[in-house]
Amino acid sequence: MTDKTFNIELIDGKGNGLIALRDISKREIIFKEKPFVWEFKSKYNEAKKQVKLCHLCGAYLSHAKIDPVKCFHSNENGCNALYCSEECRESDKNRGHKWICKESNSFTHSLIKQLEDFDENGHFRLCLYVYCMIAKVYEETNISNDNVFFSPIEAAEQVLNGFHMADFCKIMKAIRDNTLEVNDDLFHNIIAPAYFVSYLNGGYEIIKEIMKDPSSWKSHDANDELLTKFMSSDIFSESYFRNIMGAFLSNNLEIKIILENNEMLIGSGLYSTYSKMNHSCECNTIVETDLYCGTEVIVIAARDIKKGEEIMTTYLHEDPKLYAVKHRKRDLIQYLFHCKCNLCTIEESEGGGEDDDASQEDY
């Protein structure tokens, strides 16, 4: 995304980040954004059924007093997805909603229910939404262009362009052991496969079953060449799946919505711009959300930001200055880097940190 305020650029040692294209004043709104994908934790599945939220952008329809737009397949036994606008409904259609539309056959519907029931953090459903987008881009591109085959990997790269990918199993190991030190052979041959079976395999198998349902593909043929090539491609390798799931752990922002009865729903969202912001314990922005209106985030300058300066957020849930560097390091370990901002560097030089992990990336 590029506008007069900032640009998303590749930053040495960090991946993508936001660079100011002009001076930004304190308290100026830098951008507002609705999520790329979002979902609530599974404990709120029943409560979610009682509220009207836009299936695509998460707008709280009841609070905004918006007359909901129903799914194209809405009927007594069909899809119950609602949207805040015709635009959101059309966008969701173009992002592969047909693969999860409850107008689909009962077998697919039952698989989605299984996924919902054990998907504690909502990340498997986020992963499913991403695979739907990949399938849509892959199918439409190949149907419209008979001469050149557009691979599932190319479609995935187009959908996931710019998001930081991270190995879910490596993140889980780092959280468990509070270190990034690992023997590569041990990790790839024993630890990662064990974590995959324990945490990912159930959702992985369900998502594959949903995506290969021929009724969702235009050919309606289980032996169709496009479908078979899609299902046998590298995007369904365990390593690729681990990286998509890891992207949610390393990029997601917690979202909260307060309902009319004052119950709070909690989940997470992946954002096309916000999720590409880098961390600093001395970040120059604050993030605000309207708990009554949905999942939109508002990024505001916490101080004056100079042209050419990186626009940064904090990945920590509390003000970084409120707790010691060793505790910040512990809470940041899921992002697989070692923070080297001025605050951390000074505190560590004064003996406030633990021994540096040589395998951690400086960030």
Determine, yes or no, domain membership for 263: no
* The total number of residues written for the chain in this structure: 363
- Cα separation, 164 vs 145, in Å, equals 30
Please indicate, yes or no, whether the overall pTM of this predicted structure exceeds 0.85: yes
pLDDT in tens for each of the 363 residues of the chain?
A: 445 899 999 998 888 999 999 999 999 999 999 999 999 998 887 777 778 889 999 888 877 677 899 988 765 556 788 999 999 999 999 999 999 886 656 677 789 888 987 788 999 999 999 999 999 999 999 999 878 899 999 999 999 998 999 999 999 999 999 998 889 999 999 999 999 999 999 999 999 999 999 988 998 888 899 999 999 999 999 999 999 999 999 999 999 888 878 888 899 999 999 999 999 999 999 999 888 777 999 999 999 999 999 999 999 988 888 778 888 888 999 999 888 888 888 888 887 655 444 344 555
The pLDDT tens digits for 294-347 are 799 999 999 999 999 999 999 998 888 877 888 888 899 999 988 888 888 888
Determine, yes or no, domain membership for 258: no
Determine, yes or no, domain membership for 20: yes
Burial 4-19 (b: 16+ CB within 10 A, else e): ebbebeeeeebebbbe
| 225 and 331 belong to one structural domain | no
pLDDT given at position 3: 57
| 77 and 124 belong to one structural domain | yes
| 191 and 240 belong to one structural domain | yes
| 223 and 125 belong to one structural domain | yes
Q: In total, how many domains does the chain have?
A: 3
| 172 and 54 belong to one structural domain | yes
| 342 and 229 belong to one structural domain | no
Q: Are 275 and 17 in contact (CB under 8 A)?
A: no
| 45 and 132 belong to one structural domain | yes
pLDDT given at position 18: 97
Domain, as residue range, for 360? 319-363
Structure tokens given for 95: 């992002």
| 104 and 180 belong to one structural domain | yes
| 74 and 27 belong to one structural domain | no
User: 193, 221, 250 — which closes off a domain?
Assistant: 250
Determine, yes or no, domain membership for 259: no
| 281 and 326 belong to one structural domain | no
The pLDDT tens digits for 276-307 are 999 999 999 999 988 877 799 999 999 999 99
CATH number at 300 reads 2.170.270.10
Determine, yes or no, domain membership for 260: no
Determine, yes or no, domain membership for 22: yes
Q: Amino acid identity, residue 174?
A: A
Determine, yes or no, domain membership for 262: no
| 244 and 355 belong to one structural domain | no
Determine, yes or no, domain membership for 165: yes
Burial 183-211 (b: 16+ CB within 10 A, else e): eeeebeeebbeebbeebbeebbebbeebb
Q: Are 19 and 308 in contact (CB under 8 A)?
A: yes
3-class secondary structure per residue, the chain: CECCCEEEEEECCCEEEEEECCCECCCCEEEEECCCEEEECHHHHHHHHCCCECCCCCCEHHHHCCCCEECCCCCCCCCCCEECCHHHHHHHHHCCHHHCCCCCCHHHHHHHHHHHHHCCCCHHHHHHHHHHHHHHHHHHHHHHCCCCCCCHHHHHHHHCCCCCCCCHHHHHHHHHHCCCCCCHHHHHHHHHHHHHHHHHHHHHHHHHHHHCCHHHCCCCCCCCHHHHHHHCCHHHCHHHHHHHHHHHHHHCEEEEEECCCCCEEEEEEECCCHHHCCECCCCCEEEEECCCCCCCEEEEECCCECCCCEECECCCCCCHHHCCHHHHHHHHHHHCEECCCHHHHHHHHCCCCCCCCCCCEEC
| 111 and 240 belong to one structural domain | yes
